[in-house]
Chains A and B, each alone.
Chain A
Amino acid sequence: MPFDAPTLALLTVLGGLLAADATSLGQLMLSRPLAAGVLAGLAAGDPARGALVGALLETLHLGVLPVGASRYPEAAPPAVAAAAVYAATPGAGWGTVAALLLLALGWERVCGSSVQWLRKRNAALAVRPGTESLEPRWVAGVHRRAVALDVLRGAVLTFAALVAFAVLPPWIGAGDVPEGWARLAVMSVAAAAAASALRVFGTKRLPLFLLGVACGIAALVLL
């Protein structure tokens, strides 16, 4: 385990708070991997490595749209765990990054399912069909309890992910993958994920996308 107990506790609380930011409280987008990775990296001691994993996970989340009452994978707990593990493991290379991204993609589905469970639980807690009178204290109480439950849910999921993500990459031999291969694969996936965002904006904007590609090539040549 690359964390001491206080750091593990701090990251668990951070994961809980960021999970709540996604829907229940704030929606300031601190829960997005790009921000959560930096915060987790700071808590784990190496914000630059946390930022790298957060940015890679962000590319994979560009196409996740919380439109209407849709059901979607949840970003914050896996992003906190993946970024923190990578930040706290200085010797870990690109194979570990690949393993952490894969684990995060899987854990995001589990977290998304837990959000569905929470919403059903909220219905049992907060819905009183046919009621013609509600106490102000009751409304405020159930609402605050629902937010607290979301924080707790996020904290539990983050804690579980921190333990699993610290143990699994070495166990599956992620460090055995040649660095060049792993880096090429990870950054190709990130490039494909960034390109897939064109579908979010509409393929009629392909000319603008190609303009961006040309600017990117120019930047690579010039910088």
Chain B
Amino acid sequence: MSGGAPAVPRRALFLRSFALQGSFNYETLIGTGFAFVLLPALRAAAGGDEARLRASLARHAELFNSHPYLATVAVGAVARLEAEGAAPELVGRFKAALRGSLGALGDRLVWSAWRPACALLGLSVVLAGAAWWAGALVFLAAHNALHLWLRGWGLRVGLRDGLNVGKTLREAPLGRLGDRAADAGAVLAGFAAVLAFGQAGATGAQHALGAAAVAAGIALGFRLRWAAAAVLLGVLAAGAFLARTL
């Protein structure tokens, strides 16, 4: 183990982190999952003391939440604290302080910027006429490049910095990365919207419909799904009506 970090089963923590949200619930959120991920480290820290292991598991199964990709920061830091024999009250306060920032940071970077930007990149590849597999491959490769890096980096800095990991999080350029991803996503949204309408087979005056669709999309924003359902339903109803009357 490098950087002075205690001996914890790093690979087991990393692999288990992929199942962190397996028992997500509305009472303890990812609490049970956090205990599940941390179990190998708690077992190592307990050193055969079963009572200590059971008590630490109960503490870590309590309410906790985080963005799943950044939760390894908390996993690593808590694994280190437990290995060092930190007081349970200190570990509890540390987790409470960390969970808000890990959630907000991850939501802003991953869900609100990186993932939609990667999806639009993949969509642009599809709409540009690439091979059937290319869009999905580009999307998965781009998205998971950051995803896997975040999990690995989080565990590494958590184990290395322990209680001081908050400073590392503040200094990491995650916010700037999110801003740049959002910039790229905005360009790709415009690009993909035009390419999508380009596949509509529009002729003559129908091209005005493309501009209207783009403007409507921007205006509707998050309510677009309802309008989309209404348009599709209208077209199907009109088709059925025509089939019965003509």
Q: Is the Cβ of B236 less than 8 Å from the Cβ of A172? A: yes
> In the complex, what distance in Å separates the CA atom of A41 from the CA atom of B69?
29
Least CB separation from A216: chain B residue: B194
List the A side residues contacting B190 at CB < 8 Å.
195, 198, 208-216
Of residues 184 through 234 on chain B, the ones whose CB sits less than 8 Å from some CB of chain A are 185-202, 206, 209-210, 213-218, 220-222, 224-225, 227-229, 231-234
Q: Is the Cβ of B186 less than 8 Å from the Cβ of A187? A: no
List the A side residues contacting B233 at CB < 8 Å.
102
> In the complex, what distance in Å separates the CA atom of A223 from the CA atom of B111?
33
Number of interface residues of B (CB under 8 A): 101
Using known A-B contacts A34-B135, A142-B23, determine if residue A177 contacts B238 with beta carbons closer than 8 Å. Answer: yes
Number of interface residues of A (CB under 8 A): 108
List the A side residues contacting B136 at CB < 8 Å.
34-35, 37-38, 51, 54
Using known A-B contacts A139-B39, A142-B32, determine if residue A191 contacts B200 with beta carbons closer than 8 Å. Answer: yes
Least CB separation from B42: chain A residue: A136
Q: Is the Cβ of A60 less than 8 Å from the Cβ of B225? A: yes
> In the complex, what distance in Å separates the CA atom of A47 from the CA atom of B113?
28
Q: Is the Cβ of A187 less than 8 Å from the Cβ of B222? A: no
Using known A-B contacts A60-B225, A201-B185, determine if residue A191 contacts B197 with beta carbons closer than 8 Å. Answer: yes
Chain A contact residues: helix, strand, loop or mixed? helix
List the B side residues contacting A150 at CB < 8 Å.
22
Residues in chain A within 8 A of chain B (CB atoms):
23-30, 32, 34-35, 37-38, 41, 47-48, 50-52, 54-55, 58-63, 65-69, 73, 95, 98-99, 101-102, 105-106, 119-120, 122-123, 125-129, 131-136, 139-140, 142-144, 146-147, 150, 172-174, 176-178, 180-203, 205-206, 208-217, 219-220, 223
Residues in chain B within 8 A of chain A (CB atoms):
18-19, 21-29, 31-33, 35-36, 39, 43, 51, 53-55, 57-58, 61, 65, 68-69, 103, 107, 111-113, 115-117, 119-120, 122-123, 126-129, 132-133, 135-136, 139-140, 143-144, 147, 182-183, 185-202, 206, 209-210, 213-218, 220-222, 224-225, 227-229, 231-236, 238-240, 242-243
